[in-house]
Amino acid sequence: MYSIIVVPPPTTEDERNSAQIRLAPGDRLAFGRSAGDNDLVIRHDGVSRRAGRITAHGAFWILSNLSTRQTYVVENPEGAGEHIKVGPGRLDAPIPFEFSRIVLPAAGDLLPIEVWAPRHDYLDGADGPDGEPTAPAFSVDRAKRYFAVLAALCEPRLRGDPHAPLPTVDQVVDRLRPVWPAASRASVQWNIDYLAVKLRLKPGPDTADTGPRLNGKKETLVSLALRFDLVRETDLTVLSAPRGTTVPAGHEADGAHGAPRPEATR
């Protein structure tokens, strides 16, 4: 059984190059511009003669950056912006992603090398030692309105573009209308503020010292949610699946004077 599959970057001679290189555990693949020193030749003036080396292991692989100036970025295309950096001269950096994209900066171009590793092994879910259960790191309820707001904020980056701009409050309102007809700017903003407190990004309003203003609140929320998998791509069903109940008239998130009520979180 092969350990990893490497898909070379497209070249000017063959933009649809679909060749794959399969590496068994222990195999190495050197890549770079020089045909004499490398197993994978990348014909681009911006790529070092000896650019790097991939070494396959059982459930992961390692990357060596043999260039003297360029930092390589290894992205997790399924991780909504998750990535690691491998600096010039760094040897044997372990890469934990099942699907990875090595991005080589090359004289104004960004050349991708895709690497598929075997599916990782996980615990079978057997019960742990007896005793009190561990408190959750982040307590979120996927049935609440605030989670739908958080999912709508995370959606563009979970759909495959890790650098996508975050939706505006108005765009979140429009996105939530199918599952939350009473959504409004005030109610969505209330839930964003609520999430910032709930996830401990800012102190609650009942504290004596309200603390500094949280700049980039949406960006901070989305970064935290994606970094710790509070929202996954499978959770985006909350934006389209029918909800179990409808908010009755008179109990919408917006109060009589436009002030959001706590019902926004239910």
Determine the 3-state secondary structure of 94 from DSSP. Answer: strand
| Cα–Cα distance measured from residue 239 to residue 179, given in angstroms and rounded to the nearest whole number | 6
DSSP secondary structure letter of residue 260: B
The full DSSP string for 124-164 is -----SSSSPPPPSS---TTSHHHHHHHHHHHHHHTT-TTP
| Cα–Cα distance measured from residue 103 to residue 74, given in angstroms and rounded to the nearest whole number | 6
DSSP secondary structure letter of residue 89: T
Tell me the pLDDT of the chain (266 aa) as tens digits. 567 889 998 765 555 555 889 999 999 999 999 988 899 999 899 999 999 999 998 888 999 999 999 999 999 887 767 889 999 999 999 998 888 999 999 888 899 999 998 777 777 766 566 678 777 778 899 999 999 999 999 999 888 777 789 999 999 999 999 999 999 999 999 999 999 999 988 776 655 555 555 558 899 999 899 888 899 889 999 998 564 544 333 333 443 334 444 434 44
Query: What global pTM score does this model have?
Result: 0.64
Residue 22 φ then ψ, to 5°: -105, 130
Residue burial 98-124, b: 16+ Cβ < 10 Å; e: rest: bebbbbbbbeeeebebbbbbbeeeeee
